[in-house]
Copies of this chain bind each other. A is one copy, B any other.
Amino acid sequence: MSSTPDNQTAPAASVLSLRRVAIDTYRENVAYLHRDCAIYRAEGFQALSKVEVRANGRKILASLNVVDDPCIVGSNQLGLSEDAFAQLNVEDGHPAYISQAEPPSSIPALHHKIAGERLGREDFRAIVRDIAEHRYSKIELTAFVVACNQGELDREEVYFLTDAMAQVGRRLDWREHPVVDKHCIGGIPGNRTSMLVVPIVAAHGMLCPKTSSRAITSPAGTADTMEVLANVEPPFERLCDIVREHRGCLAWGGTSDLSPADDVLISVERPLSIDSPGQMVASILSKKVAAGSTHLLLDIPVGPTAKVRSMPEAQRLRKLFEFVASRLGLTIDVIITDGRQPIGNGIGPVLEARDVMRVLENDPRAPMDLRQKALRLAGRMLEFDPDVRGGDGYAIARDILDSGRALAKMRAIIEAQGAKPFDHNQPELAPQRFEVCAQQDGVIIGIDNLLVARVARLAGAPKVQGAGVDLLKKMGDPVKAGEPVYRVYAAFPSDLEFARQATVRSAGFEVGERDAIPPVYVEM
C-alpha cells in the first residue's frame, strides 16, 4: 500500500457535509463532530484534537469539540464555528474532509525557546508562519509568548521576530517616498492626536495612510473614535484610492491582513497583560513595515500611571525601537512625551470626537493640551519632508491648523470614507450620568490614567459610543470642595453603577498644593 501523504486519509471514507454552527468562538476555529460520526471513531480523534478541514480548495485548522445533539451537527456533518466557516467561503452542505492535523513544523524551535535558548532568523520565520496560519493552539501560543517574555529576547532576536512578522501576510507598496506614519505605544486615555496629525500632514501633501486599532483594553482606539464621524471599514481597494486622492486616511487596520501573526499573538498577550519591550517593538514595527511606511514617528508617553514609568525605561525602549527600525530600513523618530495624565478632556468615542473636532474648528472650548501635542507631533512628522528645515515643522503645522486647511482635509477624508452625522456642539452622550467631586479645596496634582480608563470602560466605552468620562479639571487646575472634577456617562443603569463603584474605591485624582505636582522631564 502506498504511504504518500495524499493517501494517508484514503482508507477512511472521510467526506462530510459542512454545516455552519452559529457559535462565535472569538478567533479560535472550532470544528464540531457528532460522537457517532464514523470518522470521529475511526480516526481516534479526541476532544480538543487539532484537526485539518479541507473544502473548496482551502484548508483550515480547528480544535475539535464532540457533540451529542443532532440539532447541532448530525453524524455525517462537520460543523464549524462562524469564523472558521467563513474562512472556507462555501455554502452549508458543501463537501469537506477532515483529518488529524500534522503538528506545526516549528514546534522543535518552540521547545528550544521554552528551554531558554536563543533562536535564529529561520526559527522565528518558522514559528511566525505557523502562528499566522493558525497552526498553534492557544497553549502553544502562550508558551511562545511567556518563553519570549521570561527569557527576554536580545535585540537581534527582536529584529528577527519583527522581520518574520512583517514578511507574513499582505505587504503594501505605495510606490512613493516618504510614506509617513505615527504611532503611540498607548496607555494614555483620550490622546486622540492621530485624528489631528493625519489631516495636518496630509494637507501638507505627505502620504499618510493611517490605519488604527479598535480599543482592546482601553475605552477607545482611534478607529472607535473615528467611527463616530465616518465609516472606518471601507473595502481595501477603496481605501487605497482614498489615500492616493486625499494623501491620507483614518481607517481600521483589522481586516487588512498586515502582520496577521501580530493579531494572533495579541489574543494571548492581552489576557495575560504581557507587554514586554520586545513584543511591543515587534508588534508595532511589523505592522508599519507591512503597511509600506518608510518613516515613523513614535510617541512614548512617560508618567507614574503610563505604560512606561521612568525616563531610563523610556530610553531603553527608544534604543530598542531605533535598533530594530534601522535593521528594517525604516526611518524612525522617537519622541518621549508627558504621560502624567489623559490628553484632552473626553474619554470614550463621542467625547473624544468632540474634542478633536473642536481643535480642528479652532473652537475656544478645544482642549489646549490636545492641540499642543498634536501640533508638536505633526511638526516633527513634517520634518520627514526633505524640503522642511529642521525646527520649522511646528510653525507649518500650526499654520495648517489655524488656517482651516486641516479641517478641510479632515472633512474630505470623512466624506471619502463615508460620513456619519455628528455635531460637536450637541454630541450624543449617553443619558445616565454622575459626577465625581473634589473633597477639599486645592489644586489637581495628579490624575490616574488607569483608573479613569477603567471607569470609562465600565461605563460602557467603547461599545456604547456615547459612554465615557469627561474631565472637567486637569492637572494644575484649582478646585473647591464639592466641585465636580469629572462626569461619567453611561447608557445603562448597571454600567453606571459598576463605574460608580470603581470611583468609590478610588476617585482617580488627587487634590493638594500646587508645588506637589510631579515635574515633567520630557520634551513635551
Contact = CB atoms under 8 A, between A and B. Distances in A.
A24 B272 contact: no
Contacts of A147: 146, 150
Nearest to A503: B3
Given A1-B500, A149-B114, A492-B42, A22 B139 contact: no
A111, A146, A492, A500: which has the most chain B beta carbons within 10 Å?
A146
A497 B143 contact: no
Interface in A273-319: 273-274
A501 interface: yes
Interface in A31-48: 32, 35, 42-44, 46-48
Contact of A142 (B23, B65, B138): B138
Contact of A143 (B22, B43, B67, B146): B146
A116 B65 CA distance: 35
B67 A494 contact: no
A408 B344 CA distance: 84
B23 A116 contact: no
B271 A22 contact: no
A101 interface: no
Interface string A486-506: 000000111101101100100
A91 interface: no
A72 interface: yes
A69 interface: yes
A139 B139 CA distance: 6
Contacts of A143: 142, 145-146, 272
B22 A72 contact: yes
Contacts of A71: 71-72
A43 B494 contact: yes
Contact of A146 (B32, B146, B271): B146
A44 to B, nearest CB: 6
A276 to B, nearest CB: 10
Contact of A67 (B1, B23, B65, B138): B23
Contacts of A149: 114
A12 B149 CA distance: 40
Nearest to A501: B3
Contacts of A8: 498, 501
A327 to B, nearest CB: 27
- What range describes how many residues of A lie at the interface? 35 or more
B137 A72 contact: no
A67 to B, nearest CB: 5
A242 interface: no
Given A138-B139, A272-B143, A42 B500 contact: no
A44 B139 contact: no
A150 B25 contact: no
B139 A21 contact: no
A72 to B, nearest CB: 6
A236 interface: no
A445 B44 CA distance: 33
A387 B21 CA distance: 66
A268 interface: yes
Contact of A44 (B26, B274, B495): B495
A460 interface: yes
Nearest to A73: B23
B11 A497 contact: yes
Interface in A143-164: 143, 145-147, 149-151
A242 B48 CA distance: 36
A25 B8 CA distance: 27
A25 B48 CA distance: 7
Interface in A443-489: 460, 463
A42 B150 contact: no
A123 interface: no
A82 interface: yes
Contact of A69 (B21, B150, B463, B493): B21
A138 B139 CA distance: 7
Interface of A: 1, 3, 8-9, 11-12, 21-26, 28, 32, 35, 42-44, 46-48, 65-69, 71-72, 82, 111, 114-116, 137-140, 142-143, 145-147, 149-151, 268, 271-274, 460, 463, 492-495, 497-498, 500-501, 504
12 contacts: A8-B501, A11-B494, A22-B67, A22-B69, A24-B47, A24-B65, A24-B68, A25-B48, A68-B82, A114-B146, A139-B142, A143-B145
Given A42-B492, A138-B139, A150-B151, 9 more contacts: A8-B501, A12-B494, A21-B69, A22-B67, A23-B65, A111-B273, A116-B150, A139-B271, A150-B150
